[in-house]
């Protein structure tokens, strides 16, 4: 009887471990945590706001940009269209940059990060806890009021 009890206790303990691990996987939907791997794929970034070249001038600006996050902290820009005070600029492919991703406090509140385009603007990021289909960005360079969202369109 003691041998059967030990086998049953071991089987129950193993079942509990398997169920707890599978519950963690389901809760996270198989997505990476707050690491650079969370952003992996092509996103369309759309933002509006102002650039303020002098204290008495605020020039409107808007952008639609394609950003490919490589899942390793680097990114590429396949192209963009920018409107600055009504002047349209087509930005060709070839831009690059880097990004970071880290836990928010509390950790289940999502992720925060930064994005820096090579020789270009810098942004703070917010990534929701449930997936990274849409992320929010705000430019952190001085004399700018510029924010928008990036939506994942493919892997």
**Two structure tokens written together for 145:** 């009021």
Q: Average pLDDT in the 17-43 region?
A: 62
CATH code for position 76 = 2.40.128
Per-residue pLDDT tens for 99-110?
A: 999 998 776 789
* Same-domain status, 53 and 2: no
The alpha-helical segments, DSSP class H, found in the chain are 2-28
Per-residue pLDDT tens for 73-97?
A: 999 999 999 999 999 999 999 999 9
pTM over 0.85: no
- Identify the domain containing residue 19 by its residue range: 1-30
* Same-domain status, 43 and 23: no
């Amino acid at each position: 009887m003691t041998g059967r009890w030990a086998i049953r206790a071991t089987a129950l303990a193993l079942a509990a471990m398997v169920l707890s691990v599978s519950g963690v996987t389901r809760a996270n939907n198989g997505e990476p945590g707050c690491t650079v791997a969370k952003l992996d794929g092509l996103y369309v970034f759309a933002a509006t706001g102002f650039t303020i070249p002098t204290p008495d001038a605020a020039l409107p600006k808007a952008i639609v940009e394609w950003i490919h996050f490589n899942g390793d902290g680097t990114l590429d820009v396949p192209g963009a269209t920018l409107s600055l005070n009504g002047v349209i600029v087509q930005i060709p492919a070839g831009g690059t940059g880097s990004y970071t991703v880290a836990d928010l406090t509390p950790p289940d509140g999502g992720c925060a990060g930064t994005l820096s385009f090579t020789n270009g603007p810098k942004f703070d990021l917010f990534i929701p806890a449930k997936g990274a289909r849409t992320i929010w960005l705000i430019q952190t360079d001085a004399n700018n009021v510029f924010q928008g969202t990036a939506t994942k369109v493919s892997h």
